[in-house]
Amino acid sequence: MTTQVTLSHRQKTAYVYVRQSTMGQVRNHQESTERQYALKDKALALGWPATSTRILDGDLGISGASSSDRDDFKKLLAEVSLGEVGAVFALEASRLARSNADWHRLIEICALTGTLIVDEDGCYNPADFNDGLLLGLKAQMSQAELHFLRLRLQGGKLNKAKKGELRFPLPVGLAYDDTPAIVLDPDAEVRGAVALLFALFRETGSAYAVAQQFAARGLKFPKRAYGGVWNGQLIWGNLTDRRVLSVLKNRWSQISIATGGRGFLEENLSGSSKAEARAGAVVE
């Protein structure tokens, strides 16, 4: 590995790119995160001084399927483009990108600026034909891995759906019973908050006005947490106009399909709520 690392590389900055796809992985798969941070020691062992070694970990918890939300990846591309980077350290190709477009753009820029790519397996010079070929193969394998993961997850969901066991996050105002069937939330406060939101919207015709009315009355609006330590619990917080719009856009018709027909909704609702169900109104 050391034969490809020259003095000109060491005179530039070495970047260690650290990424996990979700915050759940960051919390639960700490060994992978530690291994990625340990790449800084690898850079030091290859001759980079500590002052010239930087860690980019701002993309922890963000998927590598796209670069649009990964600010640190964009920063890395910019620094490589300026010729300021001697080597990019990553645990494996998938840490840098799951998209062939993003990966090959990085590789092409590295080849133009003489920047090395270093992972757990070795050190690669993208300007070298054989190294470039191997890096391209790693990119294909990384994208294929993402495809197979999606297939397995989707297959698992479909199998659960066939057995009637598939559960998914419900909008506020609905809950699962012991059957499990989708029913109105047994918490009267939750039902009251949802009913009040619709009543205020009918009165004002403005999502902003609804949020202002909740704030003026000192009222909170519920949200059920899914995943993490708060899984299944209600969290009450300030209602925003954006949240009001999300409630209004979640149509009852979508829920009626999941529960086996519109009759379920109309049998469990009364008064103005029935009218909302017939009109295709929303719960969240």
pLDDT for 52? 92
pLDDT for 43? 92
The CATH superfamily of 7-155 is Resolvase, N-terminal catalytic domain (3.40.50.1390)
pLDDT digits (tens, 9 = 90+) for 184-202: 788 888 888 888 888 888 8
Catalytic residues: 21
Name the least confident of 111-115, 225-229, 232-236: 225-229
Residue 118 confidence (pLDDT) above 60 = yes
Triad 233, 236, 237: Cα angle to 5°: 140
Choose from 121-125, 175-179, 262-266 the range with maximum mean pLDDT.
121-125
Domain spans in the chain, listed from the N-terminal domain onward: 7-155, 174-278
Indicate yes or no: pTM above 0.85.
Answer: no
Is 179 or 50 the better-scoring residue by pLDDT?
50
Q: How confident is the model at residue 54 (pLDDT cuts 50, 70, 90)?
A: very high
Best CA proximity match to 131, nearest among 116, 113, 109, 142: 116
User: Most distant CA pair in the chain: distance in Å?
Assistant: 79
Q: How confident is the model at residue 174 (pLDDT cuts 50, 70, 90)?
A: confident
Antiparallel, parallel or unpaired: β 182-184 and 174-176: antiparallel
Best CA proximity match to 111, nearest among 85, 91, 145, 138: 85
User: 252: which residues sit within 8 A by CB, 6+ positions away?
Assistant: 262, 265, 276, 277, 280, 281, 282, 283
